Structure 1
């Protein structure tokens, strides 16, 4: 049973296949605002995009031992029949996101740009329905992907009390867990380990950004912030490893949070990775960083995509620069990305700042990063996120 337009397996073929799957893992891919493409380029242009997109997905499916089906209109399913393994599912999810984000196809001397949302289900019971629910949340929250979970399902419920109860329960019951990924040197030896948030609902790789966003809107972020910091401090004592915690500049300038961090991390080997929001007062942020550095904490500037951002901060204030992952992913093929990274590496070397190439998932990109003489490297190609205890 083949779809007449795209020549990939049809919805009927998917339903038959699902009957024999023991451990279905579904990735429901939807083209964002596909109707606008039809309006702009007509049905022929829309059909061209569907065929071109299906070829992209088919290539990905073959590379990851998956099967591709066209479900309806601009929706496609990638199906993998395999037992659940968190690190493997994370790797596939992020690889799929990287493969199909910001696609562009040439049609009649014009470029048609695509954006997508992905709804994911790892459940055997009603997997397509759950993938659809996850897709709805991804669209509503404008997330690249969302994995079905009790939390994702609850977000579609208009009952505000139920949503708040769900978040409180996740915090109080310890369902917000920490996995860690090493930042390694040229010899692939760990320099430190970055804490990565995970929702510990059954079989999920739910994006923590969604949870954090809702937690902040419900004024539940305080408890979550302190819980995470305490866990990092405890693990630092237990493992004697150098650990890193990712925070926003908004967190750092909050007087209560700043005081808590100073108490919590006193005497510990901790790196605070700060993502700078230009809405944050730079003077207030730099004063807070000074206080943290006086305690012996290291400061990393996270998601940096240009040299000017590093210049923004005073000399000797930043110890580590982590380069924006999307810039790194284009390093092997994009001359502009290479130029930008080369300039940042040179500047950091001149200021005795260590610089990290992040989100490394391909050998060619690792080689390009090594040639530019990055100090450290991070990505799935080196290590899957894992627990420390």
Structure 2
């Protein structure tokens, strides 16, 4: 910890305010051993003057309380008015409750009573420095919500905005997709294709009436418009027509060449009440209909799918019930490659359902139905029991997926406890992957589970990181061992500069915290090579191995 502190402190500055000359000189010598710059002031008035000259210059302010001209508390109040998040440490001979309460009320980070002993003081400033360093990393990463090419906010910003805006109202969403854009790249080259993407973003943005309409570039040839206000149906149609006219009817002039494209648009209205990523899923659903029926646009109407949805839900409800009764909830295993050791490091256990005709179903549809029909917990317990039996007394690491809902289910947690003992699972052999995109709100119960499993030596991963909220603060608080990067970050990373920038920052952030990274959706040699180049610790995807009922090297007959 001391090495990390010294490394970070070399890039930080301190303002130290103390009226006693001997203490000032001693502290200046001590702080000077660690920090890049130490500014000294003999009272609050001069300390505040230094701070006002350049508020961004000081990472930490340390101050006494009782001083002439202006005391420390007055100075802190004035500093907080300038920068409410300034890190402040109080060192005072006043051990009275009144000053302590005032300091706390002003938002100081630590209160130390003089005399201050070196060991205790170093412990406090170490914590402050490492906290500041972590906050800097978080700010750096969270700024990476924009698309490098177009300057538009990207998919991660869209998901973040969707989550925040649903706390206030129900926004509407447009998806815009360039038809057959690969042909444009193949015919005119990637530079011309990039020009079209940038120019299209400018044209569409110019058509948006006000700040309630926000344009995003989601990926490749796809854009989104998030409307954060109530809009009449006529306005939907009017905006769609204007966008199609700009995109489809006006050529894009590139080096004296006229490049024509066509655009497809799907719309989900706010009044339909979809939340979070559901609105994106429904917009994608509508876009599929647009493509299939070769339309130019479609406004999603839930009534059109309600009857079909009911039939599908009933089918899967029966299928789940029969699978549980007939022991047809099975596991597939996908290898996870250790990029440093160049060998398979572990396997992820993936649930599958076998219907009465022998067809194997992936979890995307039936797990959603299971959650609604209260059978999700039964499926999770089967996965736990079967995975523990499969790897019992083997020297092979494996992981299973848990939702926050699973962790809050005492029956599931008890199944885990019992299975670890009965199946003699070795310490560190099993990892628990918690889905990040669901959001982790009940910290107390989740932390309790994590602490219990880590005490037993097992590992904790955050799954699909980058898909949903991407809350870096809870990554720090939860003390996880692995971050599994979502497929949206990885699948085009060999070509996507924005994704490379984001992943590079995440890897830098996690290495400082001692967290390992796993790349999902490693589907090609080019992606695999880029993943390793970026310093990601593990790779998972079809290039490494498809999910199978068998482990690598086992006979399938």
* 1:280 pairs with 2:441: yes
Is 2:377–2:406's contact at 8 Å kept on the other side of the alignment? no
Q: Residues 114 and 197 (structure 1 numbering): CA distance in 2 closer, same or farther, change over 3 Å? A: farther
For 1:230, the equivalent position in structure 2 comes to 385
Of 170, 176, 193, the match for 2:347: 193
Of 454, 458, 465, 1:293 maps to 454
Pair 1:357–1:260, CA change in 2 (3 A): same
- For residue 212 of structure 1, report the CA deviation from its aligned partner: 1.0
Where relative contact order (Cα < 8 A, 6+ residues apart) is larger, the structure is 1
Q: Distance in 2 between matches of 1:163 and 1:382?
A: 31
Deviations 1:250-295 (A, max 9, x none): 2112233222222223452211011132263223312221122122
Structure 1 residue 361: deviation in Å?
0.6
User: Is 1:255 aligned with 2:410?
Assistant: yes
CA contact 1:104–1:111 (8 Å) conserved in 2:
no
Q: Is 1:112–2:263 an aligned residue pair? A: yes
Note the C-alpha offset of 1:156: 6.0
Q: Identify the match of residue 320 of structure 2 among 156, 167, 172.
A: 167
How has the CA–CA distance of structure 1 residues 278 and 331 changed in structure 2, closer, same or farther, with 3 Å as cutoff? same
With over 3 angstroms needed to count, the CA separation of the structure-2 counterparts of 1:143 and 1:224, relative to structure 1, is farther
C-alpha RMSD of the superposition: 4.0
Say if 1:302 and 1:323, in contact at 8 Å, map to a contact too: yes
The alpha-carbon deviation at position 207 of structure 1 amounts to 3.2
Q: Shift of the alpha carbon at 1:174?
A: 2.2
1:219 aligns with 2:374: yes
| Contact kept in structure 2, 1:181 and 1:193, CA below 8 Å | yes
SS in 2 for 1:265: helix
- Superposed CA offset, 1:278-322 (max 9, x none): 263223312221122122221011111289634323468211111
Q: Is the counterpart of residue 375 in structure 1 residue 547 in structure 2?
A: no
Distance of 2:459 and 2:448 partners within structure 1: 15
User: Which of the residues 331, 336, 341 maps onto 1:183?
Assistant: 336
Counterpart for residue 116 of structure 2: none
Match in the other structure for 2:10: none
Q: Quick one: structure 1 residues 113 and 311, their matched pair in 2 at CA, closer, same or farther if it must change by over 3 Å?
A: farther
- Contact 1:180 1:385 (8 Å CA) reproduced: yes
After superposition, the C-alpha distances for 1:210-259 in whole angstroms (9 at most, x for unaligned) are: 10111121122222121111001101116442111011122112233222
Query: In the aligned structure 1, how far is the partner of 2:509 from the partner of 2:312?
Result: 51
Aligned residues: 274
In structure 2, how many angstroms separate the alpha carbons of the residues matched to 1:140 and 1:286?
35
Q: Against the structure 1 CA distance between its residues 333 and 159, is the aligned structure 2 distance closer, same or farther, given a 3 Å change threshold? A: closer
Deviates more, 1:271-280 or 1:177-186: 271-280
For residues 197 and 141 of structure 1, what CA distance do their matches in structure 2 show? 25
Aligned equivalent of 1:335: 497
Which of 210, 221, 226 is matched with 2:365 structurally? 210
Unmatched 5+ stretches in structure 2: 1-173, 185-218, 224-246, 253-260, 267-280, 289-306, 552-557
Match of 2:464 among 303, 306, 310: 303
1:354-369 matches, cutoff 5 A:
354-369=516-531
1:244 is aligned to 2:244? no
SS of aligned partner of 1:312 = helix
Partner of 1:259, secondary structure, is helix
